[in-house]
């Protein structure tokens, strides 16, 4: 192969460096897969190294498959002789041959998450651990975390003898591992943990695989955890011919065990290591790369490198400071439509919207549906398809229609209230025999045969709660009804008290549901529960688009790693969202957030937009966050605020919704509203200096005699008057009634 003509200087050097430890620091878009595949081809074709002597490890089956296909194009079927697989697949192959040395049979089972949960619950029952005190999910997460750092049950027990809660979990860990062995089974975390144990306890086995794999390559090395690191370290001790490829600036998975020190300390682990930096980027325009360099250079815990490109600078990073999260959604939809009109060669699939948390997708889903923009969500469920949202929506549907047996079955024991499956089955059978709905049956739970007194009492409590919701249904707004459901049922408290890894994001999703209901109430003439359910049904019934369909991609920045798009919108760029609240007070968290921002920026090939909002709804309340520090870190010459007129965005929204701005007849009325600021009635509403009803729009600036200048972020009809939510520059957020407040247009 004529490698010099196929590769740049740094890539070529990485490909031909075969012996000894090698660290390839591969910046975003620098062609690391090209280096890995050509390195293997060079070893096989030019150096006549047997393929069976080579081990290449990746993190996903998809990546392993793609690598194998590309190597096959270079060397043919010889690729079949080498191992190209994930960490877990490699370990399974080893354990199938050697696990008898650990006292297991070679036909061991691999337990999935459901099997794992059943076994942990069994252990908890035997140890008399109440799942109200410690949940099975907390225990499973803790056990997995210990295996990731190679802490045995015995070690964990010794470390936590003085901690009541952790000591209980240690007891489960001990019993759980015993039962796994009794069942001749491993869980997913055991696959690497047990392989490392095998290597450490049986030197002959380790020596065999050290001889077998003379050359080892690891992709995405910055994402390795302790057990993966140790597995590779042990194998590489034999020949020290280890090549790791990665980018410390893209280490964004610390929350699931990845340790950036593994790549940063590579030269300490292998003192004779050669380090090659791939800094030539083949993906992005110059200004995008410069912005990425600006941001990541603020991290201190990193290997210094600077991405460069031979491509033109391209346009500046476009910034947009929206009036509200709704305006942010409309702006993104507007820019996509505008770009498609101006550039016919563009397709919907060229656009990606990246956010930090899945809860942020709803605003953009709503905006895209209204604008008839096809979209698909990668790496997460659609907002209304998420479990916690479907749970609360089931409550609402049942409150609205007590004959809905499907919704009742979903919520009758959510959160858990001692109405188990066997009890529900008895109720179901009795209802079928009486040809009654489930609700009619549980109203008279005493009549159902074979129910325990405890079950009957639990059912009566549930019926009482549901009946209170039904009575409130037509008396309070939907957003308040959701709050009552979350509060009275204990659903929100259960999540807040949970130790599960995803509990925080689930709480955020529920807050977003309240915000969706509040927004519905402020924008719909019919604000009944039935109308809300109808609106949501239209949202949730939209079909998922195929991955290859011509549709805009919505995803978290975490999910976008490894992908690229011509046009990228990084949204929610506010302190408190991106970076998150926790990052603002923790330098280590801040560095991880900054790496995440770097990953987001480098997904863009040609144009990058970064948007934020002056105000947004969080849990139904309007809050205000300042623009993200990460935007401030980008040099002023690389960014500019979009010159699009904000009323163009509003009028775009009006046109696609076929709605006009508010133009109700103005009447001076008095209101008594607890959250609203009262002002003196306008004495002369005909005065030209005052804002006229037809001029009211979201996003316009107004002046109040007492509060100063502010921005209208929300408009809703309130009887015969207009209710305005205004974010004042110096006085914060105020709710005012147009009919009794003198406002001047600015």
| 483 catalytically annotated | no
Pick the closest to residue 382 from 407, 363, 365 (CA basis). Answer: 365
Per-residue 3-state assignment (H helix, E strand, C coil) for 696-711: CCCCCEEEECCCEEEE
pLDDT at 147 > cutoff 80: yes
Of all residues in the chain, what percent carry a pLDDT higher than 70? 90
Whole-prediction pTM value?
Answer: 0.71
pLDDT of residue 702: 86
**DSSP tag of 580:** B
* Residue 299 is assigned to a structural domain of this protein: no
- What CATH number does the domain containing 152 carry? 1.10.10.160
365: in domain: yes
Q: Does the pLDDT of residue 476 top 60, yes or no?
A: yes
Q: Does residue 265 sit in the same domain as residue 371?
A: no
Q: Check residue 543 and give its pLDDT.
A: 33
Residue 692 pLDDT level (bands cut at 50, 70, 90): confident
**How large is the average pLDDT for residues 423-448?**
85
44 inside domain: yes
- What integer pLDDT is reported at residue 646 of this predicted model? 65
Last residue of a domain, one of 538, 557, 584: 538
Please report which confidence band the pLDDT of residue 672 belongs to, taking 50, 70 and 90 as the band edges: very low
Residue 574 has pLDDT above 90, yes or no: yes
Amino acid 678: pLDDT: 36
Q: What is the mean pLDDT of residues 701-709?
A: 83
What pLDDT does 684 receive? 45
Select from 26, 90, 630 the least CA-distant residue to 319.
630
Catalytic-residue membership of 614:
no
Mean local confidence (pLDDT), 617-635: 90
Number of domains in the chain: 5
Work out the mean pLDDT of the chain and round it to a whole number. Answer: 86
Domain identity same for 403 and 365: no
Inter-residue contact 606 to 314 (CB < 8 Å): yes
Whole-number pLDDT of residue 636: 95
Q: Are residues 600 and 518 in the same domain?
A: no
pLDDT at 732: 64
CATH, residue 714: 2.40.10
Q: Flag whether pLDDT at 674 surpasses 70.
A: no
Instruction: Report, as an integer, the average pLDDT of 426-431.
Output: 87
Active site residue 621: no
Please pick, among 603, 605, 616, 639, the residue that the annotation labels catalytic: 603
Residue ending a domain, among 280, 307, 331, is: 280
Annotate 82-93 with three-state secondary structure. Answer: CEEEEHHHHHHH
CB 568 within 8 A of CB 600: yes
Is 325 annotated in the active site? no
Report which listed range, 242-246, 494-498, 660-664, is most confident.
242-246
Residue 477 confidence (pLDDT):
93
Domain boundaries, position 493: 383-538
Q: Is residue 286 part of a domain?
A: no
**Is 248 in the same domain as 351?**
no
Give me the residues paired with residue 613 across strands: 322
Binding-site positions for ATP:
26-33
Better-scored residue on pLDDT, 155 or 722: 155
User: What totals of helices (H) and strands (E) does the chain contain, helices first?
Assistant: 31, 22
Q: Which of 72-81, 183-192, 350-359 shows the lowest mean pLDDT across its residues?
A: 183-192
pLDDT value of position 170: 97
Domain identity same for 483 and 521: yes
Q: What is the pLDDT of residue 193?
A: 96
Q: Predicted confidence band at 659 (pLDDT cuts at 50, 70, 90)? A: very low
Q: Which listed residue (11, 32, 305, 388) is catalytic?
A: 32
Flag the least confident range among 69-73, 229-233, 407-411, 611-615.
407-411
Annotated catalytic residue, options 250, 423, 556, 711: 250
**Averaged pLDDT, 443-464:** 88
The mean-pLDDT minimum among 268-272, 276-280, 701-705, 712-716 falls in: 712-716
Q: Give 312: exposed, middle or buried? Use CB within 10 Å, 0-12, 13-18, 19+.
A: exposed
Q: Is residue 301 part of a domain?
A: no
- 189 occurs within a structural domain: no
Exactly one of 13, 17, 33, 717 is catalytic; which is it?
33
Domain boundary among 519, 538, 557: 538
Give percent helix, percent strand, percent coil of the chain, each to the nearest 5.
50, 15, 35
CATH classification at residue 324: 3.40.50.300
- pLDDT confidence bin for 469, thresholds 50/70/90: very high
pLDDT for the residue numbered 542: 31
At 177, list the tokens: 């591992």
**Per-residue model confidence (pLDDT) at position 531:** 80
In a domain, 568, yes or no: yes
Please enumerate in sequence order all residues whose Cβ is within 8 A of that of 97, keeping only pairs 6 or more positions apart, or say none. 106
For residue 682, what pLDDT band results from cuts at 50, 70 and 90? very low
- Give the position of tokens 């430890």: 21
Residues 628 and 595 occupy one common structural domain: yes
Same domain, 422 and 512: yes
Chain segment 256-300, per-residue pLDDT in tens: 788 999 999 999 999 999 999 999 999 999 999 999 999 999 999
Chain CA centroid to CA 480, Å: 27
One domain for residues 271 and 394: no
Residue 67 within a domain: yes
| Catalytic annotation present for 165 | no
pLDDT at 453 over 80: yes
Q: What percent of the chain has pLDDT over 90?
A: 55
* Segment among 467-471, 626-630, 664-668 with least mean pLDDT: 664-668
Binding residues: 26-33
Asked if residue 194 has pLDDT above 70, the reply is yes
77 plus 31 within the same structural domain: yes
Judge if 163 and 71 occupy the same domain: no
> Three-state SS for 187?
strand
Residue reference for tokens 């370990």: 91
Q: Are residues 471 and 322 in the same domain?
A: no
Is the pLDDT reported for residue 660 higher than 50? Answer: no
**Do residue 614 and residue 484 come from a single domain?**
no
What CATH number corresponds to the domain at position 465?
A: 1.10.486.10
Q: Is 77 a catalytic residue?
A: no
Tell me the pLDDT tens digit for each residue of 584-597.
Answer: 989 999 999 999 99
Q: Looking at 10, 138, 171, 219, which residue is catalytic?
A: 219
410 membership: H or E segment, kind and range: helix 405-411
Catalytic entry in 138, 148, 189, 220: 220
């Amino acid at each position: 192969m004529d490698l010099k003509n196929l590769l740049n200087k740094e890539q070529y050097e990485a490909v031909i460096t075969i012996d000894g430890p090698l660290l390839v620091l591969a910046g975003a878009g620098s062609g690391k897969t090209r280096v890995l595949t050509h390195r293997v081809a060079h070893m096989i074709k030019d150096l006549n190294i047997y393929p069976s002597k080579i081990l290449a490890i990746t993190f996903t089956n998809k990546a392993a498959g793609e690598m194998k296909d590309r190597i096959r194009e270079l060397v043919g079927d010889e690729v079949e002789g080498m191992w190209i697989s994930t960490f877990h697949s490699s370990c399974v192959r080893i354990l199938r041959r050697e696990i008898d040395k650990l006292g297991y049979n070679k036909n061991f089972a691999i337990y999935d998450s459901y099997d794992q949960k059943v076994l942990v619950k069994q252990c908890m029952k035997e140890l008399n651990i109440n799942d109200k005190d410690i949940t099975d999910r907390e225990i499973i997460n803790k056990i997995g975390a210990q295996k990731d750092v190679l802490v045995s049950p015995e070690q964990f027990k010794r470390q936590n003898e003085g901690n009541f809660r952790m000591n209980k979990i240690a007891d489960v860990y001990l019993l759980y591992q015993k039962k796994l062995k009794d069942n001749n089974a491993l869980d997913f975390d055991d696959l690497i943990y047990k392989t490392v144990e095998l290597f450490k306890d049986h030197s002959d086995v380790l020596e065999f695989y050290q001889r077998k794999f003379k050359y080892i390559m690891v992709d995405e090395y910055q994402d390795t955890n302790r057990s993966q690191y140790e597995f590779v370290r042990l194998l590489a001790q034999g020949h020290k011919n280890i090549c790791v490829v990665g980018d410390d600036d893209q280490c964004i998975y610390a929350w699931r065990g990845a340790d950036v020190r593994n790549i940063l300390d590579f030269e300490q682990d292998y003192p004779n290591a050669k380090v090659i930096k791939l800094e030539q980027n083949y993906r992005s325009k110059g200004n995008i790369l410069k912005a990425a360099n600006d941001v990541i250079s603020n991290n201190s815990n990193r290997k210094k490198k600077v991405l460069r490109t031979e491509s033109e600078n391209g346009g500046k990073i476009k910034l947009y400071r929206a009036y509200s999260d709704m305006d942010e959604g409309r702006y993104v939809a507007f820019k996509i439509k505008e770009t498609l009109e101006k550039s016919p060669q563009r397709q919907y699939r060229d656009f990606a919207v990246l956010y930090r948390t899945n809860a942020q997708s709803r605003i953009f889903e709503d905006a895209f549906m209204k604008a008839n923009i096809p979209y698909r969500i990668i790496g997460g469920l659609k907002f209304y398809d998420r479990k916690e949202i479907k749970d609360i929506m089931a409550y609402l549907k049942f409150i609205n229609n007590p004959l809905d047996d499907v919704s009742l079955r979903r919520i009758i024991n959510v959160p858990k209230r001692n109405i188990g499956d066997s009890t529900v089955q008895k109720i179901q059978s009795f209802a079928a025999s009486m040809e009654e709905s489930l609700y009619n049956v549980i109203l008279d739970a005493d009549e159902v045969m074979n129910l325990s007194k405890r079950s009957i009492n639990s059912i009566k409590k549930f019926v009482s709660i549901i009946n209170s919701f039904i009575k409130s249904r037509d008396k309070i707004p939907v957003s308040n009804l959701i709050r009552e459901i979350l509060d009275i049922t204990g659903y929100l408290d259960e999540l807040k008290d949970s130790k599960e890894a995803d509990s925080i994001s689930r709480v955020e999703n529920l807050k977003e549901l309240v915000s969706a209901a509040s927004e519905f109430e402020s924008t719909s003439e019919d604000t009944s529960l039935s109308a809300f359910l109808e609106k949501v049904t239209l949202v949730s019934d939209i079909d998922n688009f195929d991955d290859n369909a011509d549709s805009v991609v919505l995803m978290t920045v975490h999910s976008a790693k490894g992908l690229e798009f011509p046009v990228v919108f990084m949204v929610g760029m506010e302190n408190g969202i991106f970076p998150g609240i926790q990052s603002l007070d923790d330098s280590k968290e801040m560095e991880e957030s900054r790496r995440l921002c770097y990953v987001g920026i480098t997904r863009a090939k040609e144009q990058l937009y970064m948007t934020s909002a002056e105000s947004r709804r969080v849990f139904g309340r309007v809050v205000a966050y300042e623009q993200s520090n990460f935007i401030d870190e980008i040099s002023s010459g690389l960014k500019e605020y979009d010159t699009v007129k904000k009323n163009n965005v509003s009028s775009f929204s009006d046109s696609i919704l076929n709605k006009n701005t508010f133009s109700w007849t103005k009447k001076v009325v008095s209101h008594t509203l607890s959250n609203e600021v009262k002002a003196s009635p306008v004495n002369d509403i005909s005065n030209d200096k005052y804002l006229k009803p037809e001029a009211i729009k979201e996003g316009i600036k107004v002046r109040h005699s007492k509060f100063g200048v502010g921005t209208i972020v929300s408009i809703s009809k309130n009887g015969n008057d207009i209710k305005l939510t205004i974010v004042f520059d110096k006085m914060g957020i105020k709710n005012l009634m147009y009919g009794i407040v003198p406002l001047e247009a600015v």
